[in-house]
Amino acid sequence: MNDRTRLTRRQVVQGGLGVVALVAGAPLLAAEPTPTQTEGPFFPKKDQADKDLDMTRVEGRSEAALGEVIEISGQVRDETGAPIAGALVDVWQANSHGRYDHESDPNPAPLDPNFQGWARLTTDAEGRYRIRTIKPGAYPVGKGWSRPPHIHFKVAKRGFREVTTQMYFAGEPLNDADRLWNSLSPAERGQLTVAFESGRGTAPTGNFDLVLSKV
């Protein structure tokens, strides 16, 4: 049984999520809602059957996506720190060349037919989610402006305000020149900028929590 089979079965059994238990009796920590950022013009529109947690593989293809494999996990909570189960999490991004698989992307960089590019997950009973993907490439937007590597998230749950935002990578030189990253306050940048750690024999991992406010 290969890795993709294991991931797909885990997704079916656990709603597309790795099981990460909360410490029993741990106090809930209040938090500020996740800052919103533009959805951008490249939210996936086409019908795509494969939207599971492993974006490095496309169902029916034997080769893996190009680029550095990373893993992202996190928890969706409300402002009191309580986990939000059953939240819908859309994740989409450019490939390792900095191009989206979208008909409106003018970037001449190559597409990667082995990169899924879009995942749609549901948080587990503890509000947890997990994805396996690749680090996206930067891409030009206009004269003197290139977007740094980033990943788009949209989180929705009835009774809460939907959040659309972007996750950034700590230490990227292009962050400092990015207009969207610079539109954030220092505290907000801290919420959206993730440091990745390399584990022995595993892909670099990062934690990205999201906080929704009640309607």
To the query of whether residue 9 is one of the catalytic residues in this protein, the response is no
Catalytic residue among 10, 77, 97, 147: 147
To the query of whether residue 100 is one of the catalytic residues in this protein, the response is yes
To the query of whether residue 150 is one of the catalytic residues in this protein, the response is yes
Q: How many CA atoms lie within 13 A of 126 on its CB side?
A: 18
To the query of whether residue 147 is one of the catalytic residues in this protein, the response is yes
Element (H, E) at 143: none
Catalytic residue among 128, 130, 139, 168: 139
To the query of whether residue 102 is one of the catalytic residues in this protein, the response is no
Residue by residue, DSSP assigns 160-186 as: B--EEEEEEETT-GGGGG-HHHHTS-H
Catalytic residue among 100, 128, 129, 168: 100
Catalytic residue among 97, 128, 130, 150: 150
Which residue, among 134, 44, 57, 47, has the nearest Cα to 90 in the 3D structure?
A: 44
Catalytic residue among 57, 97, 102, 152: 152
Residue by residue, DSSP assigns 11-70 as: HHHHTS----PPPTTPPP---PPPPP----TT---S--S--SSBTT--TT--SPPSS-EE
CB 69 within 8 A of CB 203: yes
CB 120 within 8 A of CB 90: yes
Residue in the structure block whose two tokens are 């990745």: 196
Residue numbers annotated as active site? 100, 139, 147, 150, 152
